[in-house]
Amino acid sequence: MEEETVLRATGNKMVPQPIFAKRVFLVAGIYGLTALLPQYLMEGEIGRGFPPPINHPEYFYGFIGVALAWQVVFLLIARDVQRYRLLMLPAVLEKLTWGLATLVLYAQGRLAFAVAGFGIVDLILGVLFVSAFYATRLNHH
């Protein structure tokens, strides 16, 4: 069964946009924004809930800022998966680096499972990003 597609004007031609890929990146972007934006207001609470307190706020806020930028990239990819298909590859890297780091840190006893859980979500999204990358291959017959 062939995946449902919609046509989108890209340049001077209409290009099929696989629904699966569009949805994966749209959901990832929205999820990321909702998970990350509140953290700008939670530095103290995070330090109390997961001691020790954050003692390098530049890394904390830098991480959130870079991660937010990637959420915008995911939303951009969702708008035109064919045009931005190659951006899916560094998007996979973004998900794998955080997800794998959380699992390693959890295995070392240096991270709470609640945080590792978010890493697992990122690993799942990384797998979905790889699937979306393959789903957006254009078949040239």
- pLDDT of 1: 39
Q: Where are the alpha helices (DSSP H) in 1-141?
A: 19-36, 43-49, 57-79, 88-107, 113-135
- pLDDT of 59: 95
CA distance 2 to 95: 28
CA distance 93 to 64: 17
What average pLDDT does the segment 56-82 reach? 97
CA distance 140 to 2: 15
CA distance 54 to 39: 12
Residues 6+ apart with CB under 8 A from 49: none
Q: What is the pLDDT of residues 76-113, one digit of tens each?
A: 999 999 999 999 999 999 999 999 999 999 999 999 99
CA distance 16 to 71: 23
Domain boundaries, the chain: 16-135
Residue for token pair 């799942």: 124
